[in-house]
């Protein structure tokens, strides 16, 4: 029976989590590199250091996942003509996945860039020397989440106001909707992917 097999697997998976001395949020080197470079850029302008925002990071990862199969062109990512940005129809789903609510993300900024092979120097200039510099120059942003997939790098900026805090949404009562067993199953599965 499926339930029986799962219950056999569970201790095994759980122990693999315990043995694994890794934080749940695991960044790629590219993401860390960009994080440092963006903060150096901010420092050069005497702006505050952006701190990591886990929920913004979750959204950045989800967005990168959506973009990853789109090729880079001269009208994608940082080259996008303002006003013609790709609207993801499943954006609300992505927000829900990250326990976010549009009421606390609306003042944030989502900045997707497409750079073949994510060449670090080009990635950073796609943010600091494009239309996106307007956002990076802005004092209202205090937090950052970075995600990358394929040739896409997504930066999500958060503010310290309620409208852009990217605070975990509790209004939807997400926790009670999900059966506790799913949490148990989900965690080892996530860990498995990270292995
Ligand atoms: C940053 O602050 C330093 C010291 O206050 C000042 O010399 C420098 O001109 C400032 N740079 C910018 C870009 O405002
Ligand atoms: C983008 O590329 C297309 C086709 O490759 C070209 O026709 C167009 O002029 C380019 N646009 C810009 C802004 O470079
Ligand atoms: C952004 O990356 C593209 C590669 O996709 C590169 O051709 C372009 O020069 C970069 N733009 C900036 C402003 O660095
Ligand atoms: C952001 O600041 C830099 C450095 O002062 C400047 O070169 C750039 O034009 C600014 N970007 C925007 C969109 O104002
Ligand atoms: C977002 O939050 C508001 C108020 O905090 C709530 O009324 C609304 O149902 C929430 N939306 C979703 C999709 O959870």
What is the extent of the structural domain holding 138? 24-168
Q: Of the ranges 8-12, 34-38, 74-78, 90-94, which one carries the lowest mean pLDDT score?
A: 8-12
Nearest to 60 by CA among 68, 71, 48: 68
Decide if pLDDT at 136 tops 60.
yes
In a domain, 176, yes or no: no
Count CB neighbours of 27 within 10 A: 17
Q: Which of 91, 172, 173, 177 to mutate to test the pocket of ligand 5 (most atoms within 8 A of CB)?
A: 172
In a domain, 187, yes or no: no
Are 51 and 143 contacting, i.e. CB atoms less than 8 angstroms apart? yes
**Distance from the alpha carbon of residue 73 to the mean position of ligand 2, in angstroms:** 9
pLDDT of residue 171: 76
pTM for the predicted model, two decimal places: 0.78
In a domain, 184, yes or no: no
Per residue in 3-20, pLDDT (tens digit) is: 555 555 555 555 554 444
Per residue in 39-73, pLDDT (tens digit) is: 999 999 999 999 999 999 999 999 999 999 999 99
Q: Which residue, by CA, sits nearest to atom 12 of ligand 3?
A: 126
User: Is any ligand 5 atom within 6 A of the Cβ of residue 171?
Assistant: yes
Ligand 1 atom with the shortest distance to the CA of 46: 1
Decide if pLDDT at 82 tops 90.
no
What are φ and ψ of residue 34, in 5° steps?
A: -65, -40
Q: Of the ranges 81-85, 88-92, 131-135, which one carries the lowest mean pLDDT score?
A: 81-85
Domain count, the chain: 1
What span, in angstroms and rounded, lies between the C-alpha atoms of 50 and 136? 10
CA 88 to chain centre: 15
Per-residue pLDDT band at 34 (split at 50, 70, 90): very high
Per residue in 123-134, pLDDT (tens digit) is: 999 999 999 999
In a domain, 34, yes or no: yes
pLDDT of residue 120: 94
For the segment 167-176, the average pLDDT, to the nearest whole number, is 70
The CATH number covering residue 153 comes to: 3.40.33.10
* Ligand 3 interacting residues, C-beta cut-off 6 A: 72, 78, 114-116, 122, 125-126, 129-130
pLDDT of residue 24: 42
């Amino acid at each position: 029976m499926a339930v029986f097999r799962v219950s056999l697997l569970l201790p095994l998976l759980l122990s693999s989590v315990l043995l694994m001395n890794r934080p749940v949020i695991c960044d790629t080197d590219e993401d860390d590199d960009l994080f440092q470079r963006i903060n150096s850029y901010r420092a050069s302008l005497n702006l505050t250091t952006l701190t990591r925002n886990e929920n913004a990071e979750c959204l950045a990862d989800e967005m990168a996942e959506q973009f990853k199969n789109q090729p880079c062109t001269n009208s994608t990512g940082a080259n996008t003509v303002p006003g013609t940005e790709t609207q993801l129809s499943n954006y609300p789903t992505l927000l829900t996945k990250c326990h976010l609510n549009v009421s606390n993300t609306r003042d944030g900024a989502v900045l997707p860039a497409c750079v073949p092979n994510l060449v670090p120097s080009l990635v950073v200039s796609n943010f600091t020397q494009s239309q996106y510099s307007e956002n990076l120059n802005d004092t209202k942003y205090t937090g950052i989440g970075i995600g990358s997939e394929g040739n896409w790098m997504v930066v999500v900026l958060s503010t310290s106001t309620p409208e852009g805090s990217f605070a975990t949404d509790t209004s939807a009562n997400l926790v009670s909707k999900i059966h506790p067993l799913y949490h148990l199953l989900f965690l080892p599965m996530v860990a498995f992917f990270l292995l």
